[in-house]
Structure 1
Amino acid sequence: MRSSIALALALSVSFAGSALAQTADTAKCDNPNALGVSRTIQIDTESGPGFGFEHFKAYDFLKEKEVVLTFDDGPWPGNTHAVLKALADQCTKAMFFVIGKHASWHPELLKQVAAAGHTIGTHTWSHVDLSRKTFEEAKAEIEKGISAASIALGNKPVQPFFRFPALRHPPELVKYMAERHLGMFSTDLDSFDFKVRKPEKVVDNVMKKLEKHGKGIILMHDFQHATALAAPELLKKLKAGGYKVVHIVGKTPVEPLKEYNEIVLKEMGGGMENAKPMSSVIQTISN
């Protein structure tokens, strides 16, 4: 295990990568007033560090007026598409914590998230409350989620970030995060989009909390239709309010465990790795 000092150093900006990312974003961006990405941070997750002041207070890496955009529970048709478009229109980046089953059902959509340059972490296989499971059951939920995302992306490793469902993190699973070198993400600002279900309220919740706290990791859900509708206006308000987006990437991807790959493929029946867009496979020819 590395010392906490070394881990703190690992939270430094990756200057070369940041400069290249910003140059690429600028080159591709057609919106002169875009929110964009202010800097890119690379995180070394070797000992399972946690982020988000609601639960983990060791690493306060954001400067005043900086935000990290995070979206849970995708990918989901329609909603994830809308969020991706809103982010692309503002030339900015986010973290997506995906559910394994959803990745298995919509691998072509998860590939679009990756192709747009967003960071893909995981959020279990089926979004169960891990605090109510045995250790082995919880481990399977975590590992199947990682395997499903990896397979959906064409058998590629995924970013080493994980968010617990309902943000409940039993001590034995926090220890397991360290063993698997997974960084845990809680939140600073919860949009509560799964409760309010109105786009204007989602925007209002986030902006009021930002005005109070000044910065933060924002928790939203691309599974929620209200968030899909709210995303364009929220990003505009962030820009107007002088907020800047920080993009998070991992130093070392997490490799899925072979035995869980086999379990996921058996459950899903295969075919995920090379999945084509559904519209190119299935068409309605008569009603």
Structure 2
Amino acid sequence: MKNDQMPPRRRALLRGAVVVGLATVTGCGAEAERSTAPHRAAATGAPPAGPQAARAAKPAQPSAYRLQPMAGYGPPRALPAKLRVRRKPILRMDGRGRPLVLTFDDGPDPRYTPDILRTLREHDVRAMFFVCGEMAVDNQDLLREMLDDGHVIGNHTWSHPQLTRMTKGAIRDEIERTCEVIEDATGEPPAWFRAPYGAWNRTAFRIGAELGMEPLAWTVDSLDWTEPGTSTIIRRIKSGAAPGVVVLSHDAGGNRSQTVAALRSYLPDLLDEGYRITVPRRYAR
């Protein structure tokens, strides 16, 4: 039977089914303790450890991220015709001179992040902050301060779980909810994503790409989450410094007073040695 011969009720039902199908294809899906040892699992394959590791994840909330515009931000962003999904995270940054990227994970934390921002401002340099949604949602003023100072804000999931042990829907929820907080606070969506513990999988790469983010790992790990002492953090960062290096530190997730003190010491030294502390431009897709 041709369409123009169908009864009106049947034609209406078919049209409704098509609309629902399109919404399913184009929409984003709905969508554990933040360990104070965020990179141990990446090196050993062990599950996240820490005194709060047993805390239950927050219940997922339905997300409409990028399905409908936020007030004043225009229409939803369309996915590129040919989505580029990386198989490995970016580890180094290219650039002229002696570029070096400083990154801080797990914040923002009102106890330590303001001091880090103050030190960066004193030396007129920019850094990257990979924030967790559960920290960012109550400290959106710090996100705006980061943006005003020219720093780059990246997505580090909502609650810092090990993504490789989660379902696709749970991974999407962790990432999307944090995208929402960042864009709500700053008016700009994040362009970079970092998996907790450095634990990536195909699903994390793809969801990050669908949401318009590049995956960034690191070259030098300060291991500051172990609280090894200020002098040890300084030594690790200065000995690992080289053009294109991405340095990993933390501004939350535990006592970060050593990280704050170390930055005050090694940052001017790196600048004196000719390093250009910078943030990356967006990688072309």
Distance 2:164 2:283 in 1: 28
* Bigger fraction of residues in helix: 1
Residue 202 in structure 1 maps to residue 233 in structure 2: yes
Distance 2:103 2:283 in 1: 18
Matches within 5 A, 1:210-225: 210=241, 213-223=242-252, 224-225=256-257
Q: Among residues 204, 210, 231, which one is paired with 2:263 in the alignment?
A: 231
Distance 1:91 1:214 in 2: 19
Q: 1:184 to 1:249 in 2, by over 3 A?
A: same
Matches within 5 A, 1:207-286: 207-210=238-241, 213-223=242-252, 224-250=256-282
RMSD: 2.2
Distance 2:126 2:102 in 1: 7
Q: Among residues 59, 63, 84, which one is paired with 1:47 in the alignment?
A: 84
Distance 1:249 1:222 in 2: 23
Distance 2:96 2:220 in 1: 15
Residue 98 in structure 1 maps to residue 131 in structure 2: yes
Segments ≥4 residues shifted beyond 4 Å:
none
- Paired residue for 1:181? 212
Distance 1:196 1:107 in 2: 27
Q: How many residues align?
A: 198
Q: Among residues 114, 123, 133, which one is paired with 1:81 in the alignment?
A: 114
Distance 1:84 1:97 in 2: 14
Distance 1:107 1:249 in 2: 24
**Unaligned 5+ runs, structure 1:** 1-43, 54-59, 253-287
Distance 1:171 1:222 in 2: 28
Residue 133 in structure 1 maps to residue 166 in structure 2: yes
The alpha carbon displacement at 1:196 in A equals 3.4
Distance 2:221 2:96 in 1: 19
Residue 159 in structure 1 maps to residue 190 in structure 2: yes
Distance 1:251 1:192 in 2: 27
Distance 1:63 1:219 in 2: 21
Q: 1:98 to 1:246 in 2, by over 3 A?
A: same
The alpha carbon displacement at 1:149 in A equals 1.8
Kindly indicate whether the alpha-carbon contact (under 8 Å) linking 2:133 and 2:178 is maintained by their aligned counterparts in 1: yes
Distance 2:191 2:240 in 1: 28
| Partner secondary structure for residue 178 of structure 1 | helix
The alpha carbon displacement at 1:62 in A equals 4.1
Kindly indicate whether the alpha-carbon contact (under 8 Å) linking 1:87 and 1:93 is maintained by their aligned counterparts in 2: yes
The one-letter amino acid paired with 1:219 is: L
| Partner secondary structure for residue 137 of structure 2 | helix
The one-letter amino acid paired with 1:86 is: T
TM-score, normalising length: structure 2:
0.64
The one-letter amino acid paired with 1:244 is: R
* CA-to-aligned-CA distance 1:63-102 (integer Å, 9 cap, x gap): 5632011111111113101110110010000111111011
| Partner secondary structure for residue 279 of structure 2 | strand
- Paired residue for 2:26? none
The alpha carbon displacement at 1:172 in A equals 2.1
Distance 1:165 1:251 in 2: 21
Distance 1:174 1:98 in 2: 18
Identity of aligned residues (%): 27
Bigger Cα displacement from structure 2, 192-201 vs 109-118: 192-201
The alpha carbon displacement at 1:205 in A equals 0.7
